Amino acid sequence: MKKVLITGASGFVGGYLAEHLLSLGDYDIYGTYHSESSKDSSPVKDKIHFLQLNLMDKEATKTLIERLQPDEVYHLAAASSVGASFKDPISTFHSNIDSELSLFESLKEAQLFDTKVLLVSSAEVYGYVTPEDLPVDESTPLRPASPYSVSKIAQDFLGFQYNLSYKLPIIRVRPFNHVGPRQATGFVVSDFAKQIAEIEKGILQPVIKVGNLEAKRDFTDVRDMVRAYPLLLEKGKSGEVYNIGSGTSHKIQEILDILIGNSSMEITVEVDPHKLRPSDVAEIVADSQKMKQITGWTPEIPFEKTIKDTLDYWRNIV
């Protein structure tokens, strides 16, 4: 049985990844969490071994790694909000870079050179892409458009450097937007869905606040995304980087239309200047052929189902 460590296991993606690995069997799963509230709300809180850890604490991380001696590590823990990174770039950098360095140094010092690591970067590293760049493959130039994307480039390149310098078997992935039930607010689909659920319950007036509706993004259901992770850890090449995305882009307007179309309420749409970013990219769509060729992975959940499932999730909790 493989001993697996998921950093950030109490988070949105971490919970789904743990559920998927449990469904596969043959995994003894350990997961880190930062706050008690995140662990208590996790759907896998009673199904995996949860360990409270601040990854920026080097000594605590080193002690955990030496004790666990994991066979595989999925490094998900990170500050994940692009919008929040504009408001507090310093915190974003410390959260994303310091924690990863702490993990890599701990693995190196414990001489765990056979422990496979899946480093989850982000498609945000591509930043400003031109129409000529589309679809975006792994060789597309990196033009970071936010403090978050700069921090993810640093994470990504640190993974490459530790593989090159110390032969740690690190595989880097650049997932494009992944969405679905249980995603926190601060992300477009959840923000819209929560507002509509609150309007339906009479908590809010029938007015939904939006940012840029013209931007087009490549969305993949989180439940499909986590299926790709163990496939890549098994079949991917150490030191390489792989895109993961659906290969189709959708306007933010389309998401809003689907959500409003699934509600019986008459809803007015208003632009909120606070939701507009200092910089934004017109369209991003993934070229994931590199990973699909070695794993056979394709997304299975229809886009409309993902959006409706997210709305139903918020209807059940507001």
Q: What CATH number did the domain enclosing 307 receive?
A: 3.90.25.10
Residues 237 and 262 in one domain: no
Tokens for 50?
Answer: 């949860």
In a domain, 296, yes or no: no
The pLDDT score that the predictor gives to residue 209 is 87
Q: How far apart are CA 9 and CA 280, in angstroms?
A: 30
Could you tell me the two tokens for 256? 């809003």
* Ramachandran region, residue 296 (left: φ > 0; alpha: ψ -120 to 50; beta: rest): left
For 88-102, b/e burial (b = at least 16 CB within 10 A) is ebeebbebbbebbbb
Is there a domain that residue 293 lies in? no
The answer on 143 and 195 residing in a single domain is: no
Nearest-angstrom CA–CA distance, 145 and 125: 8
pTM as predicted? 0.95
Output the pLDDT for position 258: 97
One domain for residues 113 and 170: yes
Does 200 share its domain with 161? no
Shared domain check, 141 and 207: no
Please indicate, yes or no, if residue 292 is contained in any of the structural domains: no
Q: How many domains does the chain have?
A: 2
Does any domain span residue 45? yes
Whether residue 13 is contained in a domain is answered as: yes
**Is there a single domain that holds both residue 52 and residue 156?**
yes
By three-state DSSP, how is residue 287 classified?
Answer: coil
For residues 264 and 230, state if they share a domain: no
Burial class of residue 24 (count of CB atoms within 10 Å of its CB; 0-12, 13-18, 19+): exposed
Domain that holds residue 139: 2-178+220-244
Q: Distance between CA atoms of 155 and 153, rounded to whole angstroms? A: 5
pLDDT above 90 as % of the chain: 90
pLDDT of 279 strictly over 60:
no
Q: Could you tell me if residue 146 is inside a domain? A: yes
pLDDT tens digits, one per residue of 147-195: 999 999 999 999 999 999 999 999 999 999 999 999 999 899 999 999 9
CATH of the domain at 167: 3.40.50.720
State pLDDT tens for residues 14-64.
999 999 999 999 899 999 998 898 899 999 999 999 999 999 999 999 999
Mean pLDDT of the chain: 95
- Same domain as 199, residue 61: no
In a domain, 294, yes or no: no
Residue 268 lies in a domain: yes
Residues 211 and 274 in one domain: yes
